[in-house]
Amino acid sequence: MSNSVQLTIASVILAGGLIVSAIVLTSGGQSTKKFNVVMQNNRYNPSEIVVSVGDRVIINFENRDPVSHGIAIPQFNATVPNGHVPAGGSARMEFIADRAIDTDAAVCGGPNPTDKTDEHGEEFIVRVR
Ligand SMILES: [Cu+2]
């Protein structure tokens, strides 16, 4: 076997390895999306987030209001400790967005995440595409 043939074979093996690595890296598809959300005057800022199916989502909530605010996404088993971000406090929520949904994650005042009748009236829309 000539040196050039050996080099060619080595190059093919290397290229093949790179392609396999690229496929493995991209087929995982999961990336982490982090958000910082401020609750103030019964409003969320931002009031809507959009992520992709398969994303790992981390949301840090900071509540500047004198009342606690409830947050939950039952579809992803996601909430914050005790279900509420305490008045003047902060809380972290993490979940895997394993399917496409559009939901209102603001729940204070009602057990139903789509309830818009609670006394605070805020909305926090989570869209998974
Ligand atoms: Cu509230």
Residue-wise pLDDT for 5-16, tens only, equals 565 556 655 565
pLDDT in tens, 27-39: 456 799 999 999 9
Residue with tokens 């690595």: 21
122 CA to middle of ligand 1, Å?
A: 6
| Residues 108/111/113/114 CA torsion (nearest 10 deg) | -100
* pTM for the model: 0.72
68 CA to middle of ligand 1, Å?
A: 6
CA distances from 80 to 3, 27, 70, 111, 113 (A): 63, 30, 8, 15, 14
